[in-house]
Structure 1
């Protein structure tokens, strides 16, 4: 697998301040002091990790509008009103409001793979796919992680239907072209959308992590 990731993430202390600046801590019901303390207690040993808020505390619908690209706010496609029902699948999350995501990889080397093909390949590499909320946190901290022709899917989040089967939609983050229902005013805006489980897209990789910890 070819690693596809931008430059190193900011230090954890800077990431904590970014979340506080955006008001994510308030959305999650966590004090600013607790966010700062979490980052401070981990120190330099977690350099390069992403500070994430548990999706139960800060769901995708709440944090996606905080994204920015080209000065435009993020949005969720209109045909994904159930975005917060996409839950962790095959992913063990720490039982804590704040946690770290380590060894991020945008998955550029898997561009033009389908989610159906990418998931087992990630497992063979000892990696797990990012959740949608983790992908959003990544772009909040490092906007350069999302760029045209190098966007990514977050197939760690899946929606299970009432009959027990998985919904064929799989979430992704990319940059809007301002066409169709997006509207021209949203051209170049960061977008939470979805793609079919068995479809391939040349401009979408598969974001993954080496692990999660607190």
Structure 2
């Protein structure tokens, strides 16, 4: 695949202001999942919102505090709740790649998130080095869920995304071949017809390509002290 430098995805809807994002998380009870006082979430958002350059940033809770299994059911599309596929019972064991150190804080920002539509029909194995070469960091699964919680329209039929910053380490030091993704269920197979169009946490093989999956990334992560 050729090297390509993406602009920030012009097709992705704009994120709400950081104070509105904080209220959204509090309204969903994410602060309780994370064991954080609502006041702490609001104070963090207020502090980082006062800094220049944070327009369009995504407020995220550290995955150690709010795992994917707890966040996925909070997703909504057309009134239907999100879910994790049945063959991913180990979803919370998918960890950040060793090359992606996270801020040592319960709350942090992702700057300039992009859905990665320009990488549709690339495999995860092909997309990761391309993102790295473009100084982009792939989103974690929990970060992707946070993005959809704040802006549900970023997940749409035929324009969904992978979160290849999260991978499952194996005991021998290699990585499980599954790579997590977020898309809308077709209501087939074990999903069940009642889940058609529901937000879905699933996975794809690291070597496979899909025309309808981009690769979500950001320009960086930082805390209020960075």
Place the TM-score, normalised by the shorter chain, in its bin. Answer: over 0.9
In 1, Cα distance between equivalents of 2:120 and 2:69: 26
The structural deviation recorded for 1:7 is 2.3
Which residue of structure 1 aligns with residue 33 of structure 2?
A: 27
The structural deviation recorded for 1:190 is 0.1
Which residue of structure 1 aligns with residue 198 of structure 2?
A: 189
1:15-35 CA-partner distances (Å, limit 9, x unpaired) = 000000000000000000000
In 2, Cα distance between equivalents of 1:80 and 1:127: 27
Which residue of structure 2 aligns with residue 213 of structure 1?
A: 222
Root mean square deviation of aligned Cα: 0.8
Report the number of matched residues. 214
Note if 1:103 corresponds to 2:109: no
The structural deviation recorded for 1:14 is 0.1
Which residue of structure 1 aligns with residue 147 of structure 2?
A: 138
In 1, Cα distance between equivalents of 2:56 and 2:188: 36
Which residue of structure 2 aligns with residue 70 of structure 1?
A: 78
1:13-162 alignment, distance < 5 Å: 13-44=19-50, 45=52, 46-89=54-97, 90-162=99-171
Which residue of structure 2 aligns with residue 11 of structure 1?
A: 17
1:144-168 CA-partner distances (Å, limit 9, x unpaired) = 1100000000000000111111000
TM-score, normalised to structure 2, is 0.93
Unaligned runs of 5+ in 2: none
SS of equivalent to 2:183: strand
Which residue of structure 2 aligns with residue 177 of structure 1?
A: 186
The structural deviation recorded for 1:75 is 0.1
After TM superposition, where is structure 1 displaced by more than 4 Å over at least 4 residues in a row? none
The structural deviation recorded for 1:43 is 2.1
The structural deviation recorded for 1:49 is 0.3
TM-score, normalised to structure 1, is 0.98
Unaligned runs of 5+ in 1: none
The structural deviation recorded for 1:180 is 0.3
In 1, Cα distance between equivalents of 2:202 and 2:59: 23
